[in-house]
Amino acid sequence: MPAHELRSNAARGTARVPAVGAPVAVADRVSWIGAFDPHLRSFDIILRTANGTTYNAYAVRGSDGVAIVDTVKQEFTETFLRNLESVASYDEITTLVLNHLEPDHTGAVPELLRRAPHLNICVSPRGVQVLRALLKDRFEDYSVTVVRTGDTVSLGDRTLRFLTTPYVHWPDTQCTYLEEQDLLFTCDLLGCHFCDERLFNDQVGDFRFSFEYYFDHIMRPFKGYVVEALDLIEPLEIEMIAPGHGPILRAHPREYIAHYRRLVTSRLASEVGGQKTLLIFYLSAYGATSQMASAVYEGAAENAGVRVSLFDLQVGEVTPFVDLIEEADGLAFGTPTINGDAVKTVWDLLAGLVDIDTKGKLGAAFGSYGWTGEAVAMVEARLQGLKMRVPEKGLKIKLHPTEEELDACRDFGRRLAAQLTGQAGPREIDFADLQ
Amino acid sequence: MAHAKLTFDDVALTVNVPSGTRIIEISEKIGSGITYGCREGECGTCLTRVVEGQENLSEPSVLEQRVLKENLAGQNDRLACQCQVLGGDIRVRPA
């Protein structure tokens, strides 16, 4: 079907439903050629998808060629290629833009390249690493251009400009801007898992929950990078945002950008000011770890540069703690060792931190034990796995602490505060001390 | 055996290490925030800023050079899982 015969949903106010698998005119000479997956109920194992998702791919026609922007999950390759063939022939395709190389966007790449081996692939600097892994021995057979912010590709009377926007949500992610039409292809950024064949945000059902749910689980761990991406995007003139999943945002696209800006901003204004924040969480079976926690708190609180908070995890909800931790500078976890392990509630909280950015925060662990005391080292290892720095060796005390041991806990708190405020004096050790 | 002083700014700690030691052998043990992914020089997760003493590190291999480039590394960035300290003083921090 030639492009001019496409079912057009571009005219606003008409909620016409395209046949499954048919391409959709998104804007002048821009077509959606993706696939609907309404029966998907779980995405990447971790996300629930109550009404499925879409894999959005696009074709942009210029006077000197056609660009394909992203593809689809592998099992939808046939649908994608059928849609593509409806709007362009393979020999017309000059460019394949891969804004993100996760399999749900690159599943059709091998077959597309088999049919159009001449096209030039545009990827971000980090994207080329994944492309190499994707194409394996065939990588050298294709034309690949590494693109960075400001680089452009001409399609004649249409120009694609690239914005390197890493970690939203993979290292390779980028956005592509169609200059002449103020149309921004964002792949996962500003997307969501919501399947509605009406496709446009002014026509589909209520996807607000899906939009925020997607942000919370996909983008939130990379908030700092989302801010950098928004800084690049906000100055652009934007008529439409075409993401890789979910509705195309043609009505009030700026409101979605503004909403992202709100989502990356603190929910409550912090009263802490210039102080560093240290959160101490603990669990205690017989009161020993609780005593330690109070002493660590006392020691840290002596430092005027640190605002310290103390929480008993036994009676706390995990989710609000995750919110607090997201904005804290330092975390200390007190856990007894029970059955050779830290207590499950601690692991539950630590597991919840996968949704936030903890890189570079100060981490510490302490706890009382009866026989073995492995919990402290286990928690420290997890904190390091969360990309936190753990400069103070964890504190373990057998059974209830003595007064001297409580002094050691206070000193531990003081040292944590000093690490937070940059007051920790330089130390020097020998390699042999680490063996 | 020749030694080097390797300082991790983010935890304010200097370690006296034998020449030939890789940063990865030290940073985790002392709790530095330098983090690792593949540990084989391919993923770029352990990108590390060399604050001082770049000349006291081993030359990057072809693989490390490629990974540094593809990860948009700065002039003073190295992969902690790859580079070895040769001697003198070196100061590093997570990039």
Q: Give the ipTM of the model, two decimals please.
A: 0.90
Residue A312 has pLDDT above 80, yes or no: yes
Is any Cβ of chain B less than 8 angstroms from the Cβ of A126?
Answer: yes
pLDDT band for A435, please (50, 70, 90 cuts): confident
Q: Is A285 on the interface with B (CB under 8 A)?
A: no
- Calculate mean pLDDT across residues A344-357: 94
The C-alpha of A317 sits at a distance from chain B's nearest C-alpha, in angstroms, of 28
**For residue A316, is pLDDT > 80?**
no
Instruction: Count CB neighbours of A66 within 10 A.
Output: 26
Beta bridge partners of residue A152, listed in sequence order? A161
Peptide bond just before A118 cis, omega within 30 deg? no
Nearest to A389 among B7, B10, B69 (CB): B10
Find which of A128, A359, A431, A433 to mutate to test the B interface (most B CBs within 10 Å of its CB).
A431
Helix axes A288-301, A403-421, angle to 10 degrees: 40
pLDDT band with cut points at 50, 70 and 90 for residue A272: confident
Residues composing chain B: 95
- Residue-level pLDDT at A4: 38
Check CB contact under 8 Å for A391 and B11. Answer: yes
Closest CA to A58 of A139, A138, A175, A203: A175
- Closest chain B CA to residue A166: B71
Sheet holding A395-398, edge to edge: A306-312, A276-282, A330-334, A362-369, A395-398
At residue A9 the predicted structure's pLDDT band, cuts being 50, 70 and 90, is: very low
Tell me: pLDDT of A2 over 90.
Answer: no
Residues 6+ apart with CB under 8 A from A179: A152, A158, A159, A160, A161
What is the spatial distance between Cα A162 and Cα A144, in angstroms, rounded to a whole number? Answer: 15
Domain boundaries, chain B: 3-94
Check residues A11 and A183 and name the one with the higher pLDDT.
Answer: A183
Residue B29 contacts A where some CB pair is shorter than 8 Å: yes
Using the Cβ of A392 and the Cβ atoms of chain B, whether some distance falls under 8 Å is answered with: yes
As a whole number of angstroms, the distance between CA A356 and CA B22 comes to 30
Q: Which helix (H) or strand (E) holds A231?
A: helix A223-233
- How many other C-beta atoms lie within 10 A of the C-beta of residue B61? 13
Chains A and B form CB pairs within 8 A to the count of 83
Its pTM stands at 0.85
Cβ of A387 within 8 Å of Cβ of B33? The answer is yes
Share of chain A above pLDDT 70, in %: 94
Q: In this complex, do A424 and B12 lie within 8 Å of one another by their Cβ atoms?
A: yes
Rounded to 10 degrees, the C-alpha dihedral A346/A350/A351/A354 comes to: 170
CB proximity B37 to A under 8 Å: no
A360 touches chain B (CB under 8 A): yes
The nearest CA of chain A is from the CA of B19 a distance in Å of 11
CATH 3.40.50.360 location in chain A? 276-421
What's the whole-number mean pLDDT along residues B78-84? 97
Q: At what angle do helices A253-263 and A223-233 cross, to 10 degrees?
A: 150
Tokens 């391409």 locate to A23
- List all residues 6 or more positions away from A85 whose beta carbon is below 8 Å from its beta carbon: none
Out of A126, A359, A425, whose CB is closest to B70?
A: A126
Tokens standing for residue A250: 């043609």
- pLDDT reported for residue A274: 82
Mean pLDDT of A50-55: 94
Residue in A closest to B14 by C-alpha: A428
Q: A-chain residues within 8 Å CB-CB of B27?
A: none
* Nearest residue of A to residue B7, measured between CA atoms: A428
Cross-chain Cβ contact B12/A380 below 8 Å: no
Report pLDDT digits (tens) over B33-52: 999 999 999 999 999 999 99
Cα A312 from chain centre:
30
Q: With beta carbons less than 8 A apart as the criterion, state whether A361 and A224 touch.
A: no
Closest residue of chain B to A423, computed from CA coordinates: B12
For residue A269, pLDDT over 90 is answered with: no
- Cα–Cα distance, A419 to A96 (Å, whole number): 48
Q: For residue A227, give how far its alpha carbon lies from the nearest alpha carbon of chain B (Å).
A: 18
CB contact under 8 A, A360 and B69: no
Strand-pair partners of A363: A331
- CATH 3.60.15.10 domain span(s) along chain A: 3-263
A224 in B contact zone (CB under 8 Å): no
Q: Cβ neighbours of residue A365 under 8 Å, at least 6 residues apart?
A: A332, A333, A334, A335, A375, A376, A377, A379, A380, A383, A390, A394, A395
pLDDT band at A267 (very low <50, low <70, confident <90, very high): low
Closest by CA to A366, choosing from A306, A405, A416, A409, is A409
- By the CB < 8 Å criterion, does B51 face chain A? no
pLDDT at A18 over 60: no
A424–chain B nearest CA distance, Å: 7
Q: What digits encode the pLDDT tens for the residues A61-119? A: 999 999 999 999 999 999 999 999 999 999 999 999 999 999 999 999 999 999 999 99
Q: Does B1 touch chain A (CB under 8 A)?
A: no
Residue A12 has pLDDT above 60, yes or no: no
Q: What element of type H or E holds A291?
A: helix A288-301
The listed CATH number (3.40.50.720, 3.60.15.10, 3.30.70.1230, 3.10.110.10) that belongs to domain A3-263: 3.60.15.10
Alpha-carbon distances, residue B10 vs A277, A284, A307 (angstroms):
17, 31, 20
Q: What would the mean pLDDT of A363-392 be, rounded to a whole number? A: 96
Give the number of other CB atoms < 10 A from CB of residue A64: 12
CATH dotted code for B3-94: 3.10.20.30
Domain A276-421 top-level CATH class: alpha beta
* Residues A429, B16 contacting (CB under 8 angstroms): yes
Mean pLDDT of A318-338: 93
Contacts of B19 (CB under 8 A, 6+ apart): B1, B2, B3, B4, B84, B85, B86, B87
Q: Is A183 helix (H, G, I), strand (E, B) or coil?
A: strand
Q: Per the structure block, which two tokens stand in for A424? A: 């920790």
> String of b and e for A82-112 (b: at least 16 CB within 10 Å)?
ebbebbbebeebbbbbbbbbbebbbbbbbeb
User: Apex CA A402: angle with CA A401 and CA A405, to 5°?
Assistant: 75
Mean pLDDT of chain A: 93
- Arithmetic mean of pLDDT, A229-258: 98
Q: Which residues pair with A332 in a beta bridge?
A: A280, A364
A38, A76, A168 from A199: Cα distances, Å:
12, 17, 23
Residue spans of alpha helices (H) in A302-434: 318-327, 344-352, 375-385, 403-421
Interface test with A, best of B1, B7, B16 (most A CBs within 10 A): B16
